[in-house]
Amino acid sequence: MIHRKNATSQLKSLKHTSHLTTRQRIVLILTAVALSIIILFSMWIMRKGKARIPTNTLPIVERGAIYDRRGHILATQVVEYTISLWLPTVRNEQPYETNEEYLQSIRALSTHLAPIILWPQTELYDRILAHPSNTLTLLRRADVQIKERVEEVMLEHRLNGIRITPEFSRSYPQGDLAAPLLGYLNLDAKGGGGLEFAFDKFLSPIAVIDDQEIIRGYSLELTLDINLQASIESIMRQGLREEEAQSAVALIMDGKSGEILSYVSLPSFNPTFYHRYSEYERMNRPVVEAYEPGSVFKVFTMAAMLEANVIDPGETFCCPGHYEQTINGETFRIKCVAEHGEQTVADVMANSCNAGMAYFSERMSRDDFHDAIEAFGFGKRTNVPLSAESTGLLADTPKWSARTKPTIAMGQEIGVSSMQIMQAATAFTNQGTIIKPQIVKHVLDGDGHIFRSYPREEIGQAISPYTVQAVLAQLHHSVEKGIARRLQMPDLSVGGKTGTSQTIDPVTGAYSTDKYIASTLAFVPANDPQYIVYVVMHSPGKSIWGSNVAAPLARNIIEVLVPHLGLPSRYAHFLHLDHLPDPSTPDYPALNASLPQFEGKSLRQALHFFRKDDLFFRVDGTGFWVAEQFPPADSLLRPEMTIRLKSGDNEA
C-alpha cells in the first residue's frame, strides 16, 4: 500500500526538477495528485468497512396473509434473521504486524460465533479463511433470541464484519391443516406449491420505486372453514389408519355456490418444515391425481343416458350376471358384481349393476356418449387456481375399442380428478347447470379492503332439471335400499353412490391385483342437495369396497355437517376451535404474562397460542403431541420471544 509520506516526497522532488520540460512537470504533478486521491479513497474505504455494519432494514415487500372464510389466520408473515459475515472487513480489519495476529483474530471471531450458530469452531475458522466470495452466510431463519446473542458478542468482543439482515418468513399457525392446499414458502421466499404458488404475484407483488418503507402484499380470504377442516381431517386420519390405506381425499362443497368448505389431502405435511417431507406427502391430490372412478361414475353416465331418452325410468332389466358382446367373431365379457335378475332402472343404480349400465350404453352412439360425458367437464381442467391440475383422461372416439363405451359406462377406461367429480356433481344441485368450484373468496388489499372477488360462476348446462330429479331419486333409493345404505342417517335424507376401482400397476402396465380405490359421492339432503361430499381412499389394506371403506367415512362427515343444515340428529358433533384469533382485533399478551404449560397438549392446541404478532415458535419432530418445551411453563413472556416445542407421537 502507498503511504502519504511517499506522495509528499514526490511533491518535494518537483522543486528540484527545474531541468525538466514543462510537459514533464505537468505529467509528474498529475501523477502525484492521482496517487494522493487513490490513497485517500483507500483510507476512506478502510474506515468505512471497519466502522460500518450494514443497517438492518426490513425487506420492501411484506407477503400477504391467508385467511379462512371466518377470518382465522392460515398463513402469515413473521420476521427472522440471516446472520452473515462480510469477509473484506473481517480479513482486513487492521494492518496486522504478523500473520499470527491475523489468524488469532479470525480464531477469536469463530470461537465466539460458533456456539451461537451451531457450527464446529474449526469448520467456521477454515471457512472464513478459505471462502471464495465476499459474503459468508452463517445462518438463515434465525429467531430473535439468536439475533440478540450475536449482537451481545459483537458489542462485548468488538467483532466487526457481522451482518444481521431481517427477512420475512412464513408462519402457519394451524400446522398441517389444509397444507397441500395452502402450499409453502421456499427458501427464496417464493411460493412452492398450492395457493402460495398460484397467487405468488398477489401475495408478494414485485417491488417498484416507492416512498413507502414496506409494500404490503395482497391477502387471500378462502372459502375454507377451518373449524370444519379440523373435524374432517380428524375423521380422515382415523380412517386412513384403521383401513391401512396409503392416501386419502375428502372434499365438501356448498353445492349451490360451488364454494369448497373442506379440502383434505392425506398424507399431509407441515409447511414450515416442508423440506422434511417427500413430494408424495406434499402432493395436492384433489387436483393432481387422475384415476378411474369406478361405479361412482355411474351417476354421470346414467344421467347422460336419461338425458338422451335412451332409457325409460319405468322400464325393467334382467341382469344375467355379466355383459357380453360379439364383434367380428370375437366375444368379450364384463362381469357384474352379482346376477341381479329382474330390476328397475333405479335398482340398476342401487345395486351398481355393471351389466345394466353396459347394455344401456349400447343405445347411444359413441359420439353422443362422449359429448354427454364431456358436458359434465370430464377431460378438461376445472381451472381452479392451483398448479399442476390434471385434465384427466377422456379419449377421442376414434381411439375407442369395442369395449370402451360399456366400460366407461361403469367407470373404467376414463381418468378423473377428485375436483372434476365435484364440479360435475354440481349439476345435481343446480338444476343441471355446472358450477365452477371456488377456493378463493376474495383478494384483499393491504388495508383489508376487497380488491377482487370470485363469485359463483356457471360453466354450462349439462342436463335438464327433469334428469336431475330422476337421478337424485335413484341416489336416495341407493342409500335406502342399495349398496350405499351405510350412508343412512336418522332424520336426514341422503343420496349417494359408492365405487370401487382398480389401479394401474406402474411396473406391468396392467391392472393391479391388490391395489384398489374405494370412494363415495354423497348429496345432502337427497331431494334438494345443499352439500356435496366426496371421499376417496387409495389402496385400503382391509376391505377394497367403497361401500365398506368410504361410505362410513362419508357418513361421519355428514354428521359433522348436520349443525350447518340446522337439522336435529343425535349423532351430531362438531369440533369448534373458538379460541382461534380474529385478525381484525389481535390480542397481545401483557409483558408480565407467563408462558403456559404446553407439555401434554396436542401440537395443534399449543400452536393456537401463537396468534400474537410478537411471539414465535419452532417445532422439532413430526409427532402430534408436545413432549417438551423451552422456556418452561411460567417463564416470563417478552416481545419477539421464540418458544421451542418438541413433538412426540404419544400424549404425555
Taking residues 336-355, report their average pLDDT.
95
DSSP state of 621: S
Give the separation between CA 520 and CA 536, rounded to whole angstroms: 7
Q: What confidence category does residue 52 fall into, taking pLDDT thresholds of 50, 70 and 90?
A: very low
pLDDT value of residue 333: 92
pLDDT value of residue 144: 83
Name the nearest CA neighbour of 420 among 374, 461, 454. 374
Give the separation between CA 320 and CA 439, rounded to whole angstroms: 45
Q: What confidence category does residue 97 fall into, taking pLDDT thresholds of 50, 70 and 90?
A: low
Give the separation between CA 520 and CA 547, rounded to whole angstroms: 7
**Taking 90 as the threshold, does the pLDDT of residue 510 lie above it?**
no
DSSP state of 291: B
CA distance from start to end of the chain: 67
pLDDT value of residue 395: 96
Partnered with residue 158 across adjacent β-strands are: none
Contact assessment for residue 4 and residue 39, using Cβ atoms and an 8 Å cutoff? yes
257-280 pLDDT tens trace: 999 999 999 999 999 889 999 999
Taking residues 8-35, report their average pLDDT.
56
Sign (positive or negative) of CA dihedral 387, 385, 64, 280: negative
Give the separation between CA 526 and CA 524, rounded to whole angstroms: 5
CA distances in angstroms from 94 to 43, 105, 109, 157, 456, listed in the order given: 11, 10, 14, 15, 68
**Taking 80 as the threshold, does the pLDDT of residue 192 lie above it?**
yes
Contact assessment for residue 460 and residue 433, using Cβ atoms and an 8 Å cutoff? yes
Give the homologous superfamily in CATH for domain 226-565: DD-peptidase/beta-lactamase superfamily (3.40.710.10)
Helices 366-374, 298-307: inter-axial angle, 10-degree rounding: 120
pLDDT value of residue 581: 36
Q: How many CA atoms within 13 Å lie on the side-chain side of 321?
A: 2
In sequence order, the 6+-apart residues with CB closer than 8 A to the CB of 186 are 192, 274
**Taking 90 as the threshold, does the pLDDT of residue 566 lie above it?**
no
Taking residues 533-550, report their average pLDDT.
96
Give the separation between CA 198 and CA 183, rounded to whole angstroms: 9
DSSP state of 205: P
User: What rounded mean pLDDT belongs to the chain?
Assistant: 84
Give the separation between CA 363 and CA 309, rounded to whole angstroms: 10
In sequence order, the 6+-apart residues with CB closer than 8 A to the CB of 114 are 120, 121, 124
Task: Choose between 34 and 469: higher pLDDT.
Answer: 469
Taking residues 524-540, report their average pLDDT.
96
Give the separation between CA 587 and CA 594, rounded to whole angstroms: 15
pLDDT value of residue 23: 63
Task: Choose between 418 and 213: higher pLDDT.
Answer: 418
C-alpha cell at 33: 495528485
Name the nearest CA neighbour of 584 among 73, 61, 199. 73
Contact assessment for residue 639 and residue 616, using Cβ atoms and an 8 Å cutoff? no
**Taking 50 as the threshold, does the pLDDT of residue 22 lie above it?**
yes
Enumerate helices (H) and strands (E) in the chain, giving the number of each: 21, 23
Name the nearest CA neighbour of 604 among 630, 631, 577, 582. 577
Q: What confidence category does residue 608 fall into, taking pLDDT thresholds of 50, 70 and 90?
A: low
Give the separation between CA 187 and CA 172, rounded to whole angstroms: 15
DSSP state of 393: B
346-364 pLDDT tens trace: 999 999 999 999 999 999 9
Name the nearest CA neighbour of 345 among 482, 465, 463. 482
pLDDT value of residue 28: 64
584 by Cβ neighbours in 10 Å (0-12 / 13-18 / 19+) ranks as: exposed
DSSP for 117-183?
A: HT--HHHHHHHHHH-SSSEEEEEEEE-HHHHHHHHHHHHHHT--SEEEEEEEEEE-TTTTTTHHHH-
Task: Choose between 413 and 616: higher pLDDT.
Answer: 413
pLDDT value of residue 25: 67
Q: What confidence category does residue 2 fall into, taking pLDDT thresholds of 50, 70 and 90?
A: very low
C-alpha cell at 641: 420471544
Q: What confidence category does residue 323 fall into, taking pLDDT thresholds of 50, 70 and 90?
A: very high
Least confident of 214-218, 227-231, 285-289, 565-569: 565-569
DSSP state of 593: -
pLDDT value of residue 642: 65
Q: What confidence category does residue 4 fall into, taking pLDDT thresholds of 50, 70 and 90?
A: very low
pLDDT value of residue 51: 36
pLDDT value of residue 562: 82
pLDDT value of residue 7: 42
pLDDT value of residue 158: 87
**Taking 60 as the threshold, does the pLDDT of residue 405 lie above it?**
yes
In sequence order, the 6+-apart residues with CB closer than 8 A to the CB of 641 are 144, 145, 614, 615, 616
**Taking 90 as the threshold, does the pLDDT of residue 47 lie above it?**
no
In sequence order, the 6+-apart residues with CB closer than 8 A to the CB of 29 are 14
The torsion of the CA quartet 551, 392, 180, 532, rounded to 10 degrees, works out to: -40
511-520 pLDDT tens trace: 888 899 999 9
Tell me which architecture the domain covering 61-222 has in CATH: Alpha-Beta Complex (3.90)
109-117 long-range contacts (CB < 8 A, ≥24 apart) are 109/159, 109/161, 112/153, 112/157, 112/159, 113/138, 113/150, 113/153, 113/159, 113/162, 116/146, 116/149, 116/150, 116/153, 117/83, 117/142, 117/146, 117/150
pLDDT value of residue 359: 96
Residues in the chain: 652
CA distances in angstroms from 350 to 321, 482, 495, listed in the order given: 15, 4, 11
Give the separation between CA 300 and CA 424, rounded to whole angstroms: 8
pLDDT value of residue 102: 81
CATH number among 3.60.70, 2.40.50, 3.30.10, 3.30.70, domain 586-652: 3.30.10
Task: Choose between 189 and 71: higher pLDDT.
Answer: 71
**Taking 50 as the threshold, does the pLDDT of residue 335 lie above it?**
yes
Give the separation between CA 178 and CA 233, rounded to whole angstroms: 8
CA distances in angstroms from 359 to 228, 398, 586, listed in the order given: 42, 21, 63
Task: Choose between 9 and 84: higher pLDDT.
Answer: 84
Task: Choose between 592 and 586: higher pLDDT.
Answer: 592
**E strand or H helix at 526, and its extent?**
none
pLDDT value of residue 622: 52
Q: Using a pLDDT cut of 70, give the percent of the chain over it.
A: 78
DSSP state of 276: G
Contact assessment for residue 181 and residue 271, using Cβ atoms and an 8 Å cutoff? no
CA distances in angstroms from 594 to 84, 151, 177, 591, listed in the order given: 33, 26, 28, 8
Give the separation between CA 309 and CA 551, rounded to whole angstroms: 31
**Taking 60 as the threshold, does the pLDDT of residue 112 lie above it?**
yes
Residue type at 501 in one-letter notation: S
DSSP state of 635: P
Q: What confidence category does residue 31 fall into, taking pLDDT thresholds of 50, 70 and 90?
A: low
Task: Choose between 311 and 619: higher pLDDT.
Answer: 311
